[in-house]
Chains A and B, each alone.
Chain A
Amino acid sequence: ETGVTQSPTHLIKTRGQQVTLRCSSQSGHNTVSWYQQALGQGPQFIFQYYREEENGRGNFPPRFSGLQFPNYSSELNVNALELDDSALYLCASSYAGEETQYFGPGTRLLVL
């Protein structure tokens, strides 16, 4: 059983650019959530996808968007990057209705 993987591990972008981060869920998991973890803070919930549809969103603007694919891999897209978007982005997968999420190692994004 493979765990949750994320790519890339690190990324440097310039303010105003767009970025796509990728996540491969643990085998069989049909739900994925994305979190933003700024330096020195706890993770903040961005949104969750279930069966390719967004079914919950945190307090993040629309320039944060996502996709979930039939094989349950997913993407987080961020448009018009701002300096404050610099953070560790974590994805977590789970079975729908189960309370335990399994986290990937994260992608560290630096916006200059």
Chain B
Amino acid sequence: AQSVTQLGSHVSVSEGALVLLRCNYSSSVPPYLFWYVQYPNQGLQLLLKYTSAATLVKGINGFEAEFKKSETSFHLTKPSAHMSDAAEYFCAVRQNTGGFKTIFGAGTRLFVKA
């Protein structure tokens, strides 16, 4: 069985500060891992994905995430927060052996203070 835990339902940072959103996963098979962003009243936009290649994955808008198998983590970071980063962020896992089901975490809402 697969599962995703996002630590912290709300994270608040100041503009220009480091963004760190935490995600831990559980999977009995090697996973694909994703981070999505959702702006109010919109669908999900893919930020980045891990598909068993490089463990440090770079995405759009300056975000990156590192896959750490020993810690079963896939934390999302951005060196300097911008006001436009305020949104809901979802971590997701999918098995890479032909599985069809993507499991999402509960989400972390990021607030950026001026």
Contact = CB atoms under 8 A, between A and B. Distances in A.
Q: Is the interface of B mostly helix, strand, loop or mixed?
A: strand
B100 A33 contact: yes
A33 B104 CA distance: 14
Interface residues of B, number: 24
Contact of A42 (B42, B45, B49, B90): B90
Interface stretch (A14-22, A63-71, A77-85, A103-111): A103-111
Contacts of A1: none
Interface string B51-90: 1000000000000000000000000000000000000001
Contacts of B41: 108
A2 interface: no
B17 interface: no
A106 B39 CA distance: 12
A40 B42 CA distance: 14
Contacts of A108: 41
Interface of A: 4, 33, 35, 40-45, 48, 55-56, 58, 90, 92, 97, 99-106, 108
